[in-house]
Amino acid sequence: MIKRTLSTFTIIVLLASYSFAQYNFEVLYNCECTTIKNQQKTGTCWSFSTVSYLESELIRMGKPTYDLSEMYVVRNIYADKARNYVLRQGKANFSQGSLGHDVIRAYKMGGMVPESVYDGLQDGDIVHDHSEMEAAMKGMLDGIIKRKRPSSKWQNGINAIMDIYMGEIPETFTYEGKNYTPQDFSNELGINPDDYVSFTSYSHHPFYESCILEVPDNYSNGSYYNVPMEDLQKIANYALDNDFTIAWDGDVSEKGFSAANGIAILPTDLTKKNLFEKPDKEVVVTQELRQQTFMNYETTDDHLMHITGMAKDQNGTTYYIVKNSWGEISDYKGYIYMSAPYFNLKTTGFLIHKDAVPKDIWNKIKS
């Protein structure tokens, strides 16, 4: 077991938990990560969470701390989704949402730039808001599809809309005195996109095989390794025990999820007035319950976040320390403590470095 020294964040969390007499957390693992960000009025949690994950990967690799551009990734994926939407003649998802593996695809296709080079805001903008831009792009794409004979010009039109709302992307830029293209910069960072894999756990696909997870935001048909629920948690625990963080995807629509309280739990009694006052009995999660809630839409992939550590409460229950992208809210300054039962039921999937997977699980997976 790797021992961690208590960081400033850990100390703040511990003080907060004692001061407010709700949950007393003992931090077990606390991997390094960058500061809390805010996706604001956009559905781009997938980029904020996975870019944060990549920033932690760079720290783990011994690189300097970087502030990478979430909106550069978002812009490249909008263009890719638009192409997919037109080629599928509108029979596909075009929205602000995507998944963690799309960040890896964008990194591979278009490279990366620092936040200081491209922040996705036009002059005078202080808040990210893609609602009008999304509507403009969707309207244009639907009009193109309706014509039945798309020209070769529509992609320039989509890029022009994004230029207006997000600003033009740089072909070259200077960072810390050195000139780069986005691809040059990503090459220098040293992240290998082929090192990252996704996992899920649903019994309508064979276990230990690759599958395509049927969720609306999986427009790119990204594949996941499907493992039993116990192995999904085993991978997460092994990763954190070995300094790897996790790009998490799951459901935050439950009554037991409260960003304002910094807690995500799965209580057996949802009628209690003070759900987040202190730890209480939680639901026993089984593979069958996971499957049932996925099939009846009780579990959906409505949010992505970044798991950076692990803790336990005063009753010994395991929690995952999760970095959110809604700003520094709650007593935990934007972090959320997610109980193991909540993780087991509400995780639709996660992205992780292949070296963070225990060898005994890899040995069971059919290539």
311, pLDDT greater than 50: yes
Closest CA to 285 of 308, 316, 317: 317
Per-residue pLDDT of 128-170, as tens digits, reads: 999 999 999 999 999 999 998 999 899 999 999 999 999 999 9
Per-residue pLDDT of 190-204, as tens digits, reads: 999 999 999 999 999
35, pLDDT greater than 60: yes
18 pLDDT band, cuts 50/70/90, is very low
Residue ranges covered by each domain of the chain: 8-362
The CATH number given to 8-362 is: 3.90.70.10
* Alpha carbons 85 and 339: distance in angstroms, whole number: 38
What confidence score (pLDDT) does residue 367 get? Answer: 65
20, pLDDT greater than 90: no
6, pLDDT greater than 70: no
273 pLDDT band, cuts 50/70/90, is confident
302, pLDDT greater than 60: yes
* Alpha carbons 239 and 296: distance in angstroms, whole number: 30
Per-residue pLDDT of 324-367, as tens digits, reads: 999 999 999 999 999 999 999 999 999 999 999 999 999 999 76
Please give the helix or strand (H or E) that residue 158 lies within, else none.
helix 154-166
DSSP code of 193?
G
